[in-house]
Amino acid sequence: MTETTASIPAAGPQRSSLTGLVLRNPLGLLATALIIVVLLTAIFAPLIAPNDPAAVQIFKVNVAPGDGYLLGGDGSGRDIFSRLVWGARNTLIGAAIAVVVAALLGVTAGLFAGYFGKWYETASSWISDALMALPALIVLLALYQALGASIYLSMGIFGIMLSPGFYRLTRTLVKGVKNELYIDAARVSGLTDMRIIIRHILLVVRAPVVIQTSIVAGIAIVIQAGLEFLGLGDPSMPTWGGILQNGFQNMYNAPLGILWPGLAISITVASLVLLANAIRDAMQTGAAPSFRTPAIPAKYAAATPAPTPEEGVLLDIRDLVVAYPDGNGWREVVHGVTLQVRKGDVVGLVGESGSGKTQTAFAVLDLLSTGGKVLSGSITFDGEDLTKKSETEMRALRGRRIAYVPQEPMSNLDPSFRIGAQMVEPLMNVLGLSKAQAKARVLEMLARVGLPDPERTFNAYPHQVSGGMAQRVLIAGAVASSPDLLIADEPTTALDVTVQAEVLELLRELREEFHMTVVMVTHNFGVVADICDRVAVMKKGEIVEENAIGALFSNPQHPYTRMLLGSVLEDTEVRAYRAPAAKGNAA
């Protein structure tokens, strides 16, 4: 996975462009506009409302829209429209109180808990869990007598109950950032904790907190309306929930009365959510893969005829082009690779990151990452073109005749299943063994790869074994079906050097024993020299040189190969120590 992950830096765009991105998204623009309209309505309520929201006109009880009452009259003969306008103000103040309390408490506690940890985190997490276990509405109901009819006080309390959302979000973000090396660098540079939090950490927390604020504001509006709908608000104050309650009481006479306040609530809350989504999308731009598959350009359409099978060649790759969707086109990561692998050989596929070596290997397995596609060329395995096979046919081949050993041992074992279970399953599927047979085979293989207590490893979960053991388990799983071709993607890169030597030795033995052909993806020329018979050197999606091992090292043909070999740090003269002349500081 080195090539696909390491080259994409995980960075969000800048703040200035974030705002721009939100506003360029049509839904984001609409949401922002609606929120501004609601805000302006709330601020200028006295100017906008045509009538006194409390003025009762007895002959206008439940009157239909029109006649001076734009949206009709409520059950007491008051103007619904004017009450909605004033309700916007009261509702937004209530929501603002809840949001401010929640954000202040939650973010502050989250920053400290995440950054300093220890007892502080234990205590605040416990409080947060406890608050989250409380059904908020019931608590507010229970406290109604204590809090009095003031909805604002209730919303303040509700803010406390909403703070765990901010707390957990902030704490998680801070913990993620705290161990980033740039925080260590800032500490080494002599920044105080306070400055690190302000300069480095708040920056990371900012956008997610804005998103959370938007969502929490929505929740607060709904809950506040709920309380008022139950009659727990101040009856003298027009609010959206109160208007809805009045509509509910007169529902059978004037059904429209419940429509307006509900719409006001829903549209406002929907705008807040849409705004949150727009910000989230803007933060993820670049990372978001497009799911529309672009049309394949005509130049790839010409089908390359698969080569006539040659005696002794197990894998024959011709003019292979692998690409990933990129906007409306395709981005090639492998441009026309041709490689023959003879039966029994160990062929190294060497290159630096981004050279396309892993993508070539994944193409053979038909396991390219989401969206990846072989656009042209052929991959002939034992006389059959793999690029023409269906997924079902490939599956029959994978795990039986073609096997794979990954780079990272730990992340390639399913953490939820015992090691044995995840090795037995493929053997039963692919080889059609019974459960007992499969288990016997797995135990035999675990012993073969040098695990001292196979039964115990069989029953262990992945997190209970070391990285070196996990890699042996993965090799055992790959070799268990006696495959003809083993594709190993940097199988020793994540291992310590002494473990690497042992694993290479194991691969060498297994290759003899099972008569396997091996394609070994690696960046390490030492590994190549140790185990490979032939080598293909890749650069930017192409093979620049392919040669037998001896010839490649003794007489490299391509300048790129020579440059790479020249970069190997070996047999250099050691440096002689000289004390610096003067006790001078670095420039």
Partner 1 sequence: MLTYLLKRIGAGIILLVLVSTVTFALIYGSTGNVARNILGESASAADIAAKEHELGLDRSLPVQFADWAVHAVQGDLGNSWTRNQRVAPSLASRFPVTLSIVAISVVIMFFVAAVLGITAAVRRGIADQIIQVISVVGFAMPNFWLGLLLVLLFAVRLQWLPPTGYVSFATSPASWVASLVLPVGALVFSGIASASQQVRGAVIDALNKDYVRTLRARGVSPRSILYRHALRNALPATLTVLSVQFIALLGGAAIIEQVFAIPGLGSLTVDAALQGDVPVLMGVVVTLIITVVIMNILIDILNAWANPKVRLQ
Partner 2 sequence: MSDEKLVDVRNVNIHFGPLHVLKDVSLDIRPGETVGLVGESGSGKTTIGRAILGICHVNSGQIDFEGKDIANVAPRERTGDAARIQAVFQDPYTSLNPSMTIEEILTEPMIARKIATAAEARDRVRDLLDQVNLPADAAHRYPREFSGGQRQRVAIARALALSPRLIVCDEPVSALDLSTQARVMDLFIEIQERTGVAYLFVSHDLAVVRHISHRVAVMRSGRIVEFGECDQVTARPEHPYTKRLLLAAPVADPVRQADRRRAFQELEAEA
> 252 or 577: whose CB is closer to partner 1?
252
User: Which partner from the list partner 1, partner 2, none does 169 bind, CB cut-off 5 to 8 Å by kind?
Assistant: none
Is the distance from CB of 376 to CB of 319 less than 8 angstroms? Answer: yes
> 133 or 581: whose CB is closer to partner 2?
581
User: Which partner from the list partner 2, partner 1, none does 570 bind, CB cut-off 5 to 8 Å by kind?
Assistant: partner 2
Instruction: Report phi then psi at 301, rounded to 5.
Output: -65, -35
Q: List residues bridging with 229 in a β-sheet.
A: none
Question: Pick from 160, 173, 99, 174: which is nearest to 127 by CA?
Answer: 160
Please report whether residue 452 would count as binding partner 2 according to CB under 8 A. Answer: no
Question: Pick from 117, 349, 404, 81: which is nearest to 238 by CA?
Answer: 81
- Burial (CB count <10 Å: 0-12, 13-18, 19+), residue 413: buried
**59 secondary structure, DSSP code:** G
Please report whether residue 448 would count as binding partner 2 according to CB under 8 A. Answer: no
Please report whether residue 574 would count as binding partner 2 according to CB under 8 A. Answer: yes
User: Which partner from the list partner 1, partner 2, none does 192 bind, CB cut-off 5 to 8 Å by kind?
Assistant: partner 2
Q: Are strands 329-342 and 313-326 parallel, antiparallel or unpaired?
A: antiparallel
Q: Binding residue for partner 2 (CB under 8 A) from 530, 534, 537, 543? A: 530
User: Which partner from the list partner 1, partner 2, none does 463 bind, CB cut-off 5 to 8 Å by kind?
Assistant: partner 1
> 27 or 202: whose CB is closer to partner 1?
27
Choose one: 323-331, 396-404, 416-424, 574-582; the region binding partner 2 (CB under 8 A).
Answer: 574-582
> 478 or 510: whose CB is closer to partner 1?
478
Q: In what order do the strands lie in the sheet with 346-350?
A: 402-405, 485-489, 517-522, 346-350, 534-539, 542-548
Please report whether residue 527 would count as binding partner 2 according to CB under 8 A. Answer: yes
Nearest distance, CB of residue 342 and partner 1, angstroms? 23
> 133 or 181: whose CB is closer to partner 1?
133
Q: Binding residue for partner 2 (CB under 8 A) from 234, 281, 352, 425? A: 352
User: Which partner from the list partner 2, partner 1, none does 6 bind, CB cut-off 5 to 8 Å by kind?
Assistant: partner 2
Measured distance CA(425)–CA(418) in Å, rounded: 11
Please report whether residue 288 would count as binding partner 2 according to CB under 8 A. Answer: no
Q: How many other C-beta atoms are found inside a 10 Å radius of the C-beta of residue 498?
A: 9
Number of residues that bind partner 2 (CB under 8 A): 66
Q: Binding residue for partner 2 (CB under 8 A) from 149, 524, 542, 558? A: 524
- Burial (CB count <10 Å: 0-12, 13-18, 19+), residue 59: exposed
Instruction: Report phi then psi at 178, rounded to 5.
Output: -55, -35
User: Which partner from the list partner 2, partner 1, none does 187 bind, CB cut-off 5 to 8 Å by kind?
Assistant: partner 2
- Phi/psi zone of residue 356: left (φ > 0), alpha (ψ -120 to 50 degrees), beta? left
> 398 or 441: whose CB is closer to partner 1?
398
Is the distance from CB of 294 to CB of 325 less than 8 angstroms? Answer: yes
Nearest distance, CB of residue 506 and partner 2, angstroms? 12
Instruction: Report phi then psi at 339, rounded to 5.
Output: -155, 130
Q: Find the binding residues for partner 2 in span 175-204 (CB under 8 A).
A: 180-182, 184-192, 195, 199-200, 203-204
User: Which partner from the list partner 1, partner 2, none does 190 bind, CB cut-off 5 to 8 Å by kind?
Assistant: partner 2
Please report whether residue 501 would count as binding partner 2 according to CB under 8 A. Answer: yes
Q: Binding residue for partner 2 (CB under 8 A) from 6, 56, 64, 104? A: 6
Q: Are strands 384-385 and 373-381 parallel, antiparallel or unpaired?
A: antiparallel
Nearest distance, CB of residue 486 and partner 1, angstroms? 11
Q: Binding residue for partner 2 (CB under 8 A) from 109, 341, 419, 528? A: 528
Which pair of tokens denotes residue 172? 């998680």
Q: Find the binding residues for partner 2 in span 542-571 (CB under 8 A).
A: 549-550, 553, 563-570
Question: Pick from 372, 376, 347, 377: which is nearest to 362 by CA?
Answer: 372
3-state secondary structure of 360: helix
Nearest distance, CB of residue 445 and partner 2, angstroms? 22
Instruction: From residue 191, give the alpha-carbon distance in Å to each of 107, 188, 586.
Output: 22, 7, 21
Beta-strand ranges (E) seen in 345-461 are 346-350, 373-381, 384-385, 402-405
Please report whether residue 208 would count as binding partner 2 according to CB under 8 A. Answer: no
What residue type is assigned to position 346 of the chain? V
Which pair of tokens denotes residue 117? 């940890």
Nearest distance, CB of residue 187 and partner 1, angstroms? 31
User: Which partner from the list partner 2, partner 1, none does 436 bind, CB cut-off 5 to 8 Å by kind?
Assistant: none
Nearest distance, CB of residue 199 and partner 2, angstroms? 8
Residue where the block lists tokens 């596609």:
373
- Applying CB under 8 A, the residues found at the interface with partner 2 are 6, 9-12, 14, 180-182, 184-192, 195, 199-200, 203-204, 352-353, 496-498, 500-501, 504-505, 523-530, 549-550, 553, 563-570, 572, 574-587
